[in-house]
Amino acid sequence: MIKILQVRNIDSFVESRRQKTSEKDRKTVQTILNDVRKNGDSAVKKYERKFNGRNTSQLRVSEKEIKEARSKISRGKWHGLEVMSSILHYEESMFLQGFSNPKNWKGKSAKTSFVSIPSVGCYIPGGQARYPSSVVMSVKPAKIAGVKRIVVVSPPGRDGKIDPLTIWAAKDMGATEIYKVGGAQAIGALAYGTKSIPKVDKIVGPGGKFVSIAKSLVSDQTAIDMIAGPTELGIIADASSDPELIALDLISQAEHSKDTMCFVITQSKTMAKQIQKSIEKLIPGTERSSIIKESISKNGFIAVCKNENEMIGLANEIAPEHMELMVKNAKTLSKKITGAGLLLIGKNTPSSASDYLLGTNHILPTNGFGRTRGGLSVLDFLKLQTVIESKKSGLRKISKSLKVLTDAEDLPNHYKAVKRRLD
């Protein structure tokens, strides 16, 4: 079921395990985007029919549909989302405290502050599962940031409707528009605009293979948060680890989709075999077992390393979305792990809990991008705005050094523009 692999060379090992974008898929997505850009709503509806077998007459979710969705939600389910929202609100708001930093020096004054992005599109996956939690994780930070126009897009189910909890979560968290569309066509609509779906300034949120490719392809003109594709979970284990807990954590993430990548890194061949046996024992009696089995068989692995340094090197190179440290020296080891999108320390910090109620955002970088950024946050919905004012005395103080620098770069007109103000 899950493969046990000996690591001999980190670079080649990572290259062999990295999920690659095929040229065929890239061309397919580019065709969809070009069509949406040219034909707008008609192209969006065409691809909804083609990929999802649904005829959609009205793309936007109406107020009637929102009220209908609210009536179908149990108090318990809504309370769970409210708890998630409250915890996330506290954590996200901390980013914004005490940032204003006006400075005055040598005839100049400068101030840097946050300015919210005017409009954002939040992609909420559908398909094989429903993700009202992703609504909270994307819309709530945007609302805290002060974004005026917050658009939610999500693929409808077979009945042509979005999951009621997803709809109401979007409405309650602060979305201004909700649309029944998914896949690359949704990303194209957000990036280029259609008659029904005006374009946005930035696109955020996780999605499948086509969504990730589409976000990458439109990023030359529409900002994106990150490549947040199929779920990834890595676990570092040692001889003290609980193989059944590890197996359960791998299964919990593998149930997302058949494209999920779940793996273990260890020095212990014995632990590797114990984890393998636990997975084989647990999967048959597990809900969503067909998805889990295919995901783990296709993308899962247990990497056996020679020593701790090799484990650390492999973990940082793969740079998974989630990385659990299920080892004795978890806190010490955590200081050496720099590549993970989210680092979870100890046996009582499972990634499944972080997906909901640990205060962290579950929209995280995948496919190695954890090496350069962390999870989605309120900062993704803000830009830094710097305002500076210089007096004549300030220009005079820097004029000699400025002349040296403009001469060094052979840009004489830069200095002339300053000198004229000082004459």
Rounded Cα gap, residues 324 and 236, in angstroms: 6
Cβ-Cβ contacts under 8 Å for 237 (sequence gap 6 or more): 243, 246, 264, 265, 266, 268, 271, 275, 326, 327
User: Is 362 annotated in the active site?
Assistant: no
Of 48, 177, 255, 321, catalytic? 321
Q: Which residue in 177, 322, 324, 362 is the catalytic one?
A: 322
Choose among 152, 129, 132, 322: nearest CA to 208: 129
322: annotated active-site residue = yes
Which of 300, 212, 210, 206 lies closest to 253 in space, CA to CA? 300
- Output the 3-class SS for the chain: CCEEEECCCHHHHHHHHCCCCCHHHHHHHHHHHHHHHHHCHHHHHHHHHHHHCCCCCCCECCHHHHHHHHHCCCHHHHHHHHHHHHHHHHHHHHHHCCCCCCEEECCEEEEEEEEECCEEEEECCCCCCCCHHHHHHHHHHHHHHCCCEEEEEECCCCCCCCCHHHHHHHHHHCCCEEEECCHHHHHHHHHHCCCCCCCCCEEECCCCHHHHHHHHHHCCCCEECCCCCCCEEEEEECCCCCHHHHHHHHHHHHCCCCCCEEEEEECCHHHHHHHHHHHHHHHHHCCCHHHHHHHHHHHCEEEECCCHHHHHHHHHHHCCCEEEEECCCHHHHHCCCCCCCEEEECCCCCHHHHCCCCCCCCCCCCCCHHHCCCCCCHHHHEEEEEEEEECHHHHHHHHHHHHHHHHHCCCHHHHHHHHHHHC
Give the residue numbers marked as catalytic: 321-322
